[in-house]
Structure 1
Amino acid sequence: MPLSPAALFLMEDSSDSSDSDMDELLDDDMEDTVVLVAVKELADRQKKVRGGSKVGRLCIPRNRKLGNDLLMRDYFAEVPTYPPHLFRRRYRMRRSLFNKIVRTCETNTRYFKRKRNAAGLLGFSAHQKISAVMRILAYGIPADYADEYLRIGEDTSMESVRRFCKVMIRMYGPVYLRAPNEQDTVRLMAQNEARGWPGMLGSIDCMHWTWKNCPKAYQGIYCGKSHDPTIILEAVASEDLWIWHCFFGLPGSLNDINVLHRSHLLARLASGDAPACNYTVNGHDYTMGYYLADGIYPEWSTFVKTIRNPLSRAESEFAKAQEAARKDIERAFGVLQARFAIVRGPSRFWDKETLKDIMTTCVILHNMIIEDERDLNLEFFFDNVGTRVKPARNPDQIEAFLETYRNIENAGSHKQLQEDLIQHHWMRHGGH
C-alpha cells in the first residue's frame, strides 16, 4: 500500500538529517510516527469503502413499481378498492386533504419527487413515501412495518418522516400554528361568551410524551414523577379542539409552572402585539383575555382557576362550570393522541429535534383535519392571516413591557376576575 506524502516526508526527513542532535531526537520516535501515520491512513481508507461494492451484500428487490401500483389502485384510483370511510380511518383525513399535502411536498422539495436512479429504475413515489409516514404517525408502528405492502425499507421510511415533518412545518406552520389574530380573537370571545365565559381565549394544560430511547446521560433530566423519561407539550385549545398554542421540548422533570415561565404564550401580550380583549363582567371592565387552568398555575390575571373547596352554592356552581369548560384542552389532547398514536406511545427516536418536529407536525395535521371537516367560512377564518397591522407601541418599550408583566402577574386582578365570574355564573343560572 503506498504511503501518503506526509509519511514519505517524515521518512525522507529522517534519512536526510545529518545533525547529531536531530538523530538523537528522531531515531527513537520517527519509526513509531511513520507507522502510526500509515496505520491511520489505512483505517480511513477502509472506512470509505462503500458496502454496495462488496460481493454478497444483501439487496432486496422490492419491486417499487408494484408497491406504487397496488397503493394507487387500492386508495387513489377513480374507483378505489377501499371506500372513503376506510381511507379516512387509515390516513386520519379525507383523500382530498391528503392529495393536497402530497402536491405541496412534491412542489416544495426534491426528495418527494419521483426520480430514476443510476440504473434507470423509478424510485418511490410521493404517495408511497407519505403513506408510509402517515402509517407511522397514525399507528405508531416501527419504520419497517409498512415494507411488505408499500415495498419501502426502514431507512427510507425514517428519512421520509424527517423530511415530511420539515416540509409541513415550513409550509403550513405559519397558518396552522399561528396565535389568534383580531378575527380569531373576536370569534373566540363570542363563542366563549355564549358559553358563559366572557373574555376567555381557551384552556391551557401540559401533556407528557414518553421518550423510550432517551440517552442515559439525559435520563436524570427527563425523568419526572412517572420515573420514565418524558418531554412536555404545553398547549392551548378552544371548544372546537383547535390548538392555538404549542410549546414542546422541555424535560419531564419540570412542572407546568416551570414550562409556563419558559414558553412564549404571553410574549405577544407583554410586547403589546396581542389583539385587544375588552369585555365587562359584573360591572367591571377588563382589557386582557384569560385562559382556564388547573390548580397548579399561578394566580395571574390571565388565568382563571377552579375553587378547590367551595363554601357556597355560587362557588360550587362556578367550580362545576370551570372544570367542565376546562375539559376542552383534555379533549384536544385525547383526540390528538387518538389520531396519531405515535405521540401516545413511547417514542423510538433518539434525537430530540426529530421528536419536536414530529409533535409539531401532528399538531399541524390535527388543525388541518379540524379545518377540513367542519362547516366554516374559511374566508372569514383565514382572513388577513399574517397581515395584521401591529398597534403602536409605547416609546419607552422596556418600561411598557415591565408594566404589562406586572399587570399579568397581578394576584389582585386574578381574585377580582374570579369573584366577578362567580357572580356572573350564579346570576346566569338563576341564582338569587
Structure 2
Amino acid sequence: MLLNDSDSDDDFEIIALLALEEERLEREGVSTSHRGSVLGRRIIQRDHTQGHQRLFQDYFVESPVYPPNVFRRRFRMSRSLFLCIKSNLEEKDEYFVQKRNVAGVLGLSSLQKMTATLRMLAYGVAADFIDEYVRIGESTAIESLKKFVEAIVNIYYTEYLRSPNSNDIARWKGQYTGHSREPIIILEAVASYDLWIWHAFFGLLGSHNDINVLDHSFIFTKLAQGLAPSVNYSINGHDYTMGYYFADGIYPSWSTFVKTIRAPQGKKSSLFATTQESTRKDVEHAFGVLQARFAIVRGPTRL
C-alpha cells in the first residue's frame, strides 16, 4: 500500500471517501487489487493540531521556548513583522485562514503554512524538510509557497515593489543612490545604499549583456514620457533637473548615466573612478543581503 503525502483539504476528502468505498467493496467480496490508481492508498495522519500547538508554544506564546533572536534568525524577520504579514495574508487570501473540511477535520493554520514557506525561502530546503515538525505534506508546502509569494506581491507591490516617487527622492536627496549550465533569466536592477530596490526587470532568457537588457526594459519609459519624478540639484554651479544612475562602461553615453572612467589619468580622475565604482556596489550589496537571508535565491529554483 502506498503512502500519500498530500494533506490538502480536497485530497484528504477524496482519499478518505475512496478508502471507505474500498472497505465496502471488500465487504462485498469485490477484489480491489490494482496498481497505479489513487484507490487503495492510505493517508498519513499527521495531526495538524499537534503541529500547530507545538509551533505556537515554541514561538508565539507570551513566554515562548525560543527567544526573539532565534525567531529572527529562523524566520528572517521579527515576530511583530511576521504577525503583521500573517494578518494581511488572512485578510487578502482565505487560503491562509484555518478552517475545517466537510468531515469536520481542522486543517493547517496560517502559522504552519507561513513557517513552511519561510523555511524554504530562508534555508533553500526541500518542501518536505520540516514535515515532522510543522506537520505539512510536500505538495501543500509547495502550494503554500506559491500562494505566499503571490499574496505578498499583491499586498505590498505598491509600497515596496515600485519605482521611486518624488517623496522618496526628497528623502534620499544627497545620498548615494555576472554563466552556468542551469536555465537562467536576466534581472536588471537598481538599488540604493539602504538596500531599497528601486527598479527590477525580469526578462530575456539566457545570457545577455547589459545593452540587450536595457533595450527591452521599461526603466526609462516614464522618463521618456516626461512622467518621472522631478529632481533638482546643483553640481559645480550647474543646475540639473533629471536624476542619474551609476553604470559601468558598457552602457550608452546618455545624460542619465554616470559611467566610470576607463584607465583614469591623474588624481582627480582616479578618485572619481574609485568613488563611482565603489558606489555601484550598492546593487551587489542589496542582493548579497538577500542571498544571505533567503538561501533560495542562491541556487536554481526548486519550483
TM-score, with length taken from structure 2: 0.85
Q: 2:69 is paired with a residue of what secondary structure?
A: helix
Structure 2: distance between partners of 1:339 and 1:256: 27
| In the alignment, structure 1 residue 282 sits paired with structure 2 residue 266 | no
Give 1:235 deviation, angstroms. 1.2
1:236 paired residue among 190, 198, 203: 190
Give 1:282 deviation, angstroms. 2.1
Contact 2:15–2:43 (CA under 8 A) maintained in structure 1? no
Q: AA paired with 2:91?
A: T
Q: Name the residue aligned to 2:87.
A: 103
After superposition, where does 1:236-255 map in structure 2 within 5 Å? 236-255=190-209
Q: Name the residue aligned to 1:66.
A: 50
**Number of residue pairs matched by the alignment:** 270
Q: AA paired with 2:248?
A: D
1:337 paired residue among 291, 297, 301: 291
| In the alignment, structure 1 residue 264 sits paired with structure 2 residue 218 | yes
User: Structure 1, unaligned stretches of length 5 or more?
Assistant: 1-49, 193-201, 208-224, 350-432
Q: 1:190 is paired with a residue of what secondary structure?
A: coil
Q: Name the residue aligned to 2:136.
A: 152
| In the alignment, structure 1 residue 75 sits paired with structure 2 residue 29 | no
Structure 1: distance between partners of 2:114 and 2:92: 14
| In the alignment, structure 1 residue 168 sits paired with structure 2 residue 159 | no
Q: 1:61 is paired with a residue of what secondary structure?
A: coil
| In the alignment, structure 1 residue 304 sits paired with structure 2 residue 288 | no
Structure 2: distance between partners of 1:296 and 1:143: 41
Structure 1: distance between partners of 2:204 and 2:78: 33
Give 1:51 deviation, angstroms. 5.6
Q: Name the residue aligned to 1:292.
A: 246
Give 1:187 deviation, angstroms. 2.1
After superposition, where does 1:412-423 map in structure 2 within 5 Å? none
Structure 1: distance between partners of 2:182 and 2:143: 27
Q: 2:189 is paired with a residue of what secondary structure?
A: strand
Q: Deviations over 1:358-413 (max 9, x none)?
A: xxxxxxxxxxxxxxxxxxxxxxxxxxxxxxxxxxxxxxxxxxxxxxxxxxxxxxxx
Give 1:286 deviation, angstroms. 2.2
Structure 1: distance between partners of 2:203 and 2:54: 39
Q: Name the residue aligned to 1:86.
A: 70
Q: Name the residue aligned to 2:300.
A: 346
Structure 2: distance between partners of 1:248 and 1:137: 19
Q: AA paired with 1:179?
A: S
Structure 2: distance between partners of 1:145 and 1:77: 24
Structure 2: distance between partners of 1:106 and 1:348: 26
Q: 2:174 is paired with a residue of what secondary structure?
A: helix
Structure 2: distance between partners of 1:347 and 1:170: 21
Give 1:160 deviation, angstroms. 0.7
Q: AA paired with 2:203?
A: G
Give 1:311 deviation, angstroms. 1.4
Q: AA paired with 1:333?
A: F
Structure 2: distance between partners of 1:131 and 1:228: 28
Q: 1:123 is paired with a residue of what secondary structure?
A: coil
Q: AA paired with 1:259?
A: V
Instruction: Quickly say closer, same or farther: Cα 1:69–1:92, change in 2 above 3 A.
Output: same
Give 1:267 deviation, angstroms. 1.2
State the superposition RMSD in angstroms.
1.5
Give 1:177 deviation, angstroms. 1.0
Give 1:251 deviation, angstroms. 1.1
Q: Deviations over 1:23-65 (max 9, x none)?
A: xxxxxxxxxxxxxxxxxxxxxxxxxxx6651543031000100
Q: AA paired with 1:257?
A: I
| In the alignment, structure 1 residue 185 sits paired with structure 2 residue 177 | no
- Bigger helix fraction: 1
Give 1:191 deviation, angstroms. 2.3
Q: Deviations over 1:203-234 (max 9, x none)?
A: xxxx7xxxxxxxxxxxxxxxxx4343211221
User: Structure 2, unaligned stretches of length 5 or more?
Assistant: 1-13, 23-39
**Structure of larger gyration radius:** 1
Q: 2:203 is paired with a residue of what secondary structure?
A: strand
Q: AA paired with 2:240?
A: Y
Structure 2: distance between partners of 1:187 and 1:171: 24
Q: 1:143 is paired with a residue of what secondary structure?
A: coil
Q: 2:163 is paired with a residue of what secondary structure?
A: coil
TM-score, with length taken from structure 1: 0.60
Structure 1: distance between partners of 2:256 and 2:142: 41
After superposition, where does 1:19-58 map in structure 2 within 5 Å? 53=18, 55=22, 56-58=40-42
Contact 2:186–2:207 (CA under 8 A) maintained in structure 1? no
Q: Name the residue aligned to 2:127.
A: 143
| In the alignment, structure 1 residue 315 sits paired with structure 2 residue 299 | no
Q: 1:191 is paired with a residue of what secondary structure?
A: coil
